[in-house]
Amino acid sequence: MRRNSLAAAFTGTAMTLSLGTLPLGGCQQAPAGSQPGALTSESESAIASAAPSASSPAPTVNADRPSYSKNPVEALDWWAAAIEARDWSAMRAFWGDMGARSNMDEAAFAAKWDVLKAPKVTIGAGAQEGAAGSLYYTAPITIVDGDRTLRGEVIIRRVNDVDGATTEQLRWHVESLSLPL
């Protein structure tokens, strides 16, 4: 799996992504006096230190708990690792409501994706935008499976950091996927 470069993934003058560890029990509060979405030297260094490298090991797939990273590139790396591992249960969990928003039960979802025998996933640099209290990250995806190459686009979404948002609402999840299987 080829990983994105965070430098390429996060471009623009304003960013509403706040990096840091998301506690599984709730929301984080911004420091007093900070502007929502403003980059600080601390968040810029967090982006740089969180950048995946070619020597980084692939994320461990955990079907019970997809990535809760606030970094969309990292969340997509976990999702790609689930595809490459052919762990359809873990991959399905990356859709909203732990897979329910895929509009397929586990058996139907696995049957659809089981056509992939040895998938190698590449997720290109994406773009992030905000709308109506949510953050969206759109990236191109390529899956090479033997002599077959599938190309499409994945859109992931999460609720922006707001008081009262649940852990499920705050995690990046697949909103839509255009990939011919």
pLDDT tens for 119-163 read 999 999 999 999 889 999 999 999 999 999 999 999 999 999 888
Q: What type of residue sits at position 29?
A: Q
How far is CA 166 from each of CA 27, 62, 107, 150, 170, rounded to the nearest angstrom? 7, 20, 28, 34, 6
What is the count of structural domains for the chain? 1
Q: And the tokens for 42?
A: 């601390």
Q: What is the DSSP letter of 42?
A: H
Confirm whether 165 is domain-assigned.
yes
Closest to 166 in 3D by CA, of 95, 99, 96: 96
Q: Which domain covers residue 171, as residue numbers?
A: 6-20+35-51+59-178
Q: What is the DSSP letter of 11?
A: -
Whichever domain contains 109, its CATH number is: 3.10.450
Helix (H, G, I), strand (E, B) or coil at 57: coil
CA–CA distance, 40 with 60 (Å, rounded to integer): 30
Instruction: Determine if the pTM surpasses 0.75.
Output: no
CA–CA distance, 67 with 167 (Å, rounded to integer): 11
Confirm whether 1 is domain-assigned.
no
Residue 67, pLDDT score = 74
Residue-wise pLDDT for 10-59, tens only, equals: 333 333 333 333 333 333 333 343 333 333 333 333 333 333 334 344 44
Q: What's the chain's Rg over C-alpha atoms?
A: 16
Confirm whether 147 is domain-assigned.
yes
Closest to 138 in 3D by CA, of 151, 129, 127: 127
